[in-house]
Structure 1
């Protein structure tokens, strides 16, 4: 992928050397562990290459599964009582803290980082009702219903030509919430507060925006401590020769996965 994306030629030694310098097994292995300990707070994607936006959620849970298999149970760190995380043994055995840590990576923490957590990012009174419903066996890979601003936008629906709704292939298909008239009422366009202070409607008139306008907040006053369940600040060092990563003096690495969950068998039909 890297060779193709950067128009490189595997027959040219310099191109191969460039590709090898971009992909380092040591730092890739360390990234998984840093996610697991909460040193990396957000799970995101590249725009076109190294990450695919449609796989952010499934790859988050694949990482969590891989870390559970290789590193075992994730203990609840001290100092999380104020976040509603108890130290009860039954809670610990269920490994719910790891689940909450990984959910936060693609929901509330990106919202906090972008200054939009006052309206999206979590299920709370006063926020936009963006919900994803799953059947347990397909959690993280194939949603049953996607609700945007309180309206269904995608759902698992059978063949539209059938007489009943359960005829295969059952696929995620657009619902009423995807229509233009609905989008303007269920979506937000985020802008700066300064752009709204002088004339609240100027941006909407100039750019013909029909979505609701909402200013971003507190982007300049947040830090790692503000990111939920992922606020670890270990000392990170990278060896410039071997690329080995150490957290607080300990080697940070893990084995590559031999198998992954949430893959082909969930997407056959």
Structure 2
């Protein structure tokens, strides 16, 4: 860890006898006044720019700041965008590493259960193709034809990952390539 942005010894902690409670690390700041929706406390954040221990503030589903979260009325050094209020949910990041999602660039889209495994290992984006449990999908990472592309798009819509679909392009026919490209 290159930097501790939580001020070791004064961290915001949640649980029985811990500091995230009214008039301690939790203030009276409402969401309308800028309180976080969610705070991940005391996580080790691993990113391309470095490794830090920090609280991570989330509003509207997006990370808004890294630093020290808490109640600025009773604690010094609380980041101005990391106020914990009565409507803030807390996720304990103690002993955890928080990092950006990974990309798997060679996926045979055989089964939706692959997404569960991918997410469990930190993969949030997959690139590949297929049509499900077919011999073509087992052999290649492409999706052939307009009908299959439409079907796989519908199947992927409900999955909580980003997907880059690869289309089949192994023909010398200009019309065949055009048909595949127009299919999406």
- Structure with the bigger percentage of strand: 2
TM-score scaled by length of structure 2: 0.25
**Whose relative contact order is higher, 1 or 2, with alpha carbons under 8 Å and at least 6 apart?**
1
TM-score scaled by length of structure 1: 0.19
